[in-house]
């Protein structure tokens, strides 16, 4: 089997690449080398796995098909939310109180893990605090208000504050929303700087990273992993490719669906305008099925994500594609220049819970974060390092989550999924 890079995956100029002028370059793998653990993919999953394993004394090699953080980890919204992508109330209902508690605690630890990695290693990635989520329909306000009591009573979590409509200008200058929930425990950051910071810390811990080294195949025990020009022999293999995995491992790619999501960045705004759009300098998101999410950059640009598609390839004009969603929230930005527009590919699962597991004992996979990967992919690296070191209880909790296959397999999942996604997106509108 030969895995070929697809043209749709070209590295797009984004605000993130423009504001990260120096990026390290790594050589491609040439010849044969040995490692304890070989990792495929240098996004948060791969880099965090590498870092946590190296700290435990393992010899780790990372093989990246393109460049470090080429995938979603270099392109995302940078929101670091608490909890899981599935609503906590639904997790309780479907999986019971004990599993729900474990997942909630791991979700909080995942956020702490990101913050600690940044602070302890002085990663310069524009870290800021807090997130506000908005109800775009009146009836959703009840849910937001109920969340405060639910998390307070059941999880002793006191960092949520409900903001009713008559106080909404404390958190936004917009008529688009009916109520809001301020989560003071969430974080947000510059995703590419964060990923490159993780790469540096991993290298300092002894990890070897190769770029332009697309894995074509692997086999055997110990496992031999082949690229065009080289090979790694390793005891363990970690697949950390998420939405970019293509056909590398047919046993797992039916459990995820790659979807594309898009982001724009405005020109820098005056401090007064920026302060009116996002008064608390938090990240922000709304209750739409195809979610709108936004925040300010360090130089006061509005970084706004909205709209997605479910096919190969991105819209020709991403700036206009996303701008309409931004103007629905902030019509006052009609004359504001959009300086950057880009997209990325992420993997969702059917129930939006991550898909972790193990094939043949020594091939580990971590994927399907469903838009919640900044904390969860980073944390996945910590969990797989624990598991490879012999402490696998927490990895097993994640691996045992009931993540189903998309009906119709990798080919037919598309039409069914697209119809489903479009239905929910339409429902948002009417």
Ligand X SMILES: Cc1cc2nc3c(=O)[nH]c(=O)nc-3n(C[C@H](O)[C@H](O)[C@H](O)COP(=O)(O)OP(=O)(O)OC[C@H]3O[C@@H](n4cnc5c(N)ncnc54)[C@H](O)[C@@H]3O)c2cc1C
**Which residues lie near ligand X (CB under 6 A)?**
3, 40-46, 63-66, 70-73, 75-79, 214-215, 240-245, 248, 261, 263, 293, 305, 344-346, 369, 371-374, 377
Closest CB to ligand X among residues 46, 179: 46
Q: How many helices (H) and strands (E) does the chain have?
A: 11, 17
**Residues 263, 75 contacting (CB under 8 angstroms):** yes
Handedness of CA 228, 221, 356, 194 (dihedral sign): negative
**Residues 22, 197 contacting (CB under 8 angstroms):** no
Closest CB to ligand X among residues 4, 429: 4
The pair of structure tokens assigned to 231 is 């090979």
> Residue 234: helix, strand or coil by DSSP?
strand
Closest CB to ligand X among residues 70, 157: 70
The pair of structure tokens assigned to 49 is 């796995």
- Shortest reach from residue 255's CB to ligand X, in Å: 14
- Shortest reach from residue 73's CB to ligand X, in Å: 3
Closest CB to ligand X among residues 75, 413: 75
- Shortest reach from residue 195's CB to ligand X, in Å: 7
Nearest-angstrom CA–CA distance, 183 and 283 = 10
Nearest-angstrom CA–CA distance, 23 and 36 = 27
- Shortest reach from residue 96's CB to ligand X, in Å: 25
> Residue 282: helix, strand or coil by DSSP?
coil
Q: Report how far apart the first and last C-alpha atoms of the chain are (Å, whole number).
A: 46
- Shortest reach from residue 201's CB to ligand X, in Å: 15
Residue nearest to ligand X (CB): 373
Residue found by looking up tokens 């009417």 in the block: 430
- Shortest reach from residue 355's CB to ligand X, in Å: 11
Closest CB to ligand X among residues 141, 342: 342
- Shortest reach from residue 138's CB to ligand X, in Å: 26
Closest CB to ligand X among residues 141, 338: 338
Nearest-angstrom CA–CA distance, 159 and 153 = 12
Is there a cis peptide before residue 49, judged by omega within 30 degrees of 0? no
- Give alpha helix (H) positions in 86-235: 88-120, 140-155, 191-204
Closest CB to ligand X among residues 14, 300: 14
């Amino acid at each position: 089997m030969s895995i070929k890079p697809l043209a749709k995956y070209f590295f797009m100029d984004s605000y993130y690449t423009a504001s990260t002028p120096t990026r390290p370059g790594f050589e491609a793998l040439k010849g044969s080398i040995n490692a304890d653990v070989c990792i495929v993919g240098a996004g948060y999953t791969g880099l965090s796995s590498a870092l946590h394993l190296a700290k435990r004394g393992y010899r780790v090699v990372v093989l990246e098909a393109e460049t470090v953080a080429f995938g979603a980890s270099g392109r995302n919204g940078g929101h670091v939310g608490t909890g899981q992508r599935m609503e906590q109330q639904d997790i309780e209902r479907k999986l019971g109180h004990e599993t729900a508690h474990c997942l909630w605690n791991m979700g909080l630890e995942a956020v702490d893990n990101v913050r600690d990695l940044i602070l302890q290693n002085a990663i310069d990635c524009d870290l800021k605090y807090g997130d506000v989520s908005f109800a775009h329909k009146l009836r959703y306000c009840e849910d937001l208000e109920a969340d405060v009591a639910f998390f307070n009573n059941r999880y002793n979590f006191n960092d949520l504050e409900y903001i009713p409509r008559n106080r909404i200008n404390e958190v936004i200058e917009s008529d688009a929303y009916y109520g809001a929930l301020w989560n003071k425990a969430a974080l947000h950051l510059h995703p590419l700087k964060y990923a490159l910071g993780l790469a540096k810390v991993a290298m300092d811990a002894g990890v070897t990273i190769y770029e332009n080294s697309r894995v074509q195949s692997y086999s055997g025990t110990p496992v031999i992993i082949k690229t065009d020009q080289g090979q790694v022999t390793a005891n363990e293999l970690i697949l950390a490719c998420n939405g970019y995995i293509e056909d590398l491992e047919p046993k797992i790619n039916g459990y995820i669906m790659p979807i594309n999501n898009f982001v724009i960045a405005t020109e820098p705004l005056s401090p007064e305008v920026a302060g009116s759009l996002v008064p608390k300098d938090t990240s922000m998101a709304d209750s739409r099925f195809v979610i709108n999410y936004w925040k300010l950059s360090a130089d006061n640009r509005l970084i706004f994500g909205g709209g997605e598609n479910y096919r190969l390839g991105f819209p020709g004009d991403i700036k206009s594609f996303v701008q309409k969603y931004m103007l629905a929230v902030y019509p006052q930005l009609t004359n504001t220049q959009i300086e950057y527009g880009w997209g990325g590919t992420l993997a969702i699962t059917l129930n939006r819970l991550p898909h972790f597991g193990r094939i043949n004992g020594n091939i580990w996979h971590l994927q399907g974060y469903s838009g919640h990967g900044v904390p969860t992919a980073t944390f996945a690296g910590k969990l797989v390092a624990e598991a490879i070191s012999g402490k696998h209880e927490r990895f097993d909790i994640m691996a045992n989550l009931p993540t189903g296959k998309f009906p119709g397999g990798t080919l037919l999942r598309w039409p069914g999924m697209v119809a489903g996604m479009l239905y929910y997106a339409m429902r948002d509108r009417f």
